Amino acid sequence: MTYADRRTVLAGLAGAALSASVLNAFAASPAHAADLYASNTDLYTKLAGKEGTDFARRYKRHELFDNSDNLRQPFNRTTIMAIHGGGIEGGTSELCLGIAGYHPATLAVQPAGGPVHDYWMFEGTRVSDNGELHVTSTRNDDRSALSMAAGSLNVLSLHGCTAAQAGASAGVPEAVVVGGLNADFKRYLHEEFQAAGFHTIDGSTVPALAGEDPDNICNKTLLGKGAQLEMTAELRQSMFDAGHFSRSERPTHTNAGFDAFVGAARKAIARLEDRPDQAIL
């Protein structure tokens, strides 16, 4: 989603006494009028030499190898992305790894035996002001990210938002907005999250979080459609042990809520990949 959309909500909160520590803890969107960087390429250019201190890129593309003349080897259909990970939208990196099938701290395959999915993450690694590193989904031009999306049938892109941005009720601020152009994928995600006890919101009812722009990286797949999750700060924080939501602590302090959310997302992906239109002939 764009900063212009988020600023509309943030402007209404301008008078609230939100301390920097609270904003950093929830890793909600920074109160910028617009992204500081026009694209990932612009960010990499202007922050040349800062990778490893200000930001990081982590990804895994599984090797595809078929040298048999009478058998067909499995292929990867789905890529998981956290394009605002690390300290930008807290919790999205850990969820990206979990949904892809990896322990967020050790990177061990879990559950053992998989399945595993490709993943790509851009992460803010500063002590503070990570929100300045946000590049909106439609302007992500990282070549690795674009090539992974373009080589996948499906992308599931993970984001963080506030309860106000999601339109969540005051009584149930823990919510996930399910968006993107893949209607079947969205339906499976709604059904699996709800079955696991999570409150979902249809992205089509929240235009700023709908993820329906064809230029959104979640939709730049082989099928021209994907899915996007916008998770409220309250929901993301609930998936980690109380008092352990810092970037360094999150990977080793996931809880049962994290496992349930990851499991539901993986079930939705499995249902999607089992469809006839997911076959590559």
- Name residues whose C-beta falls within 8 Å of residue 238's C-beta, 6 or more positions apart in sequence: 174, 257
Rounded Cα gap, residues 60 and 89, in angstroms:
20
Cis before 115 (ω within 30) = yes
Which parts of 118-243 are beta strand (E)? 118-124, 154-161, 175-179, 199-202, 227-232
Q: Which two tokens stand for residue 159?
A: 């984001």
- Helix segments in the chain, DSSP class H: 3-12, 20-26, 40-46, 92-100, 143-150, 163-166, 183-195, 233-238, 256-273
Record the tokens describing residue 103, joined without a space: 């322990």
pTM for this structure?
A: 0.88
Task: Please give the Cα distance from 261 to 85 (Å, whole number).
Answer: 17
Would you give the DSSP letter of residue 28?
P
Question: CA separation (Å) from 48 to 43, 143, 146, 202?
Answer: 8, 16, 20, 39
What is the structure's pLDDT at 71? 79
Longest dimension (CA), the chain: 67
- Mind listing the pLDDT tens digit of every residue in the chain (281 residues)? 333 343 333 333 333 333 333 334 444 443 334 899 999 999 999 999 999 999 999 999 998 888 888 877 778 899 999 999 999 999 999 999 999 999 999 999 999 999 999 999 999 999 999 999 999 999 999 999 999 999 999 999 999 999 999 999 999 999 999 999 999 999 999 999 999 999 999 999 999 999 999 999 999 999 999 999 999 999 999 999 999 999 999 999 999 999 999 999 999 999 999 999 998 87
CATH assignment of 24-62+77-275, given 3.40.50.720, 3.20.20.70, 3.40.630.100, 3.40.47.10?
Answer: 3.40.630.100
| pLDDT of amino acid 12 | 36
Amino acid type, 197: G
Q: Provide the token pair at 59.
A: 């990804």
Contacts of 178 (CB under 8 A, 6+ apart): 186, 189, 190, 193, 200, 201, 202, 203, 227, 228, 229
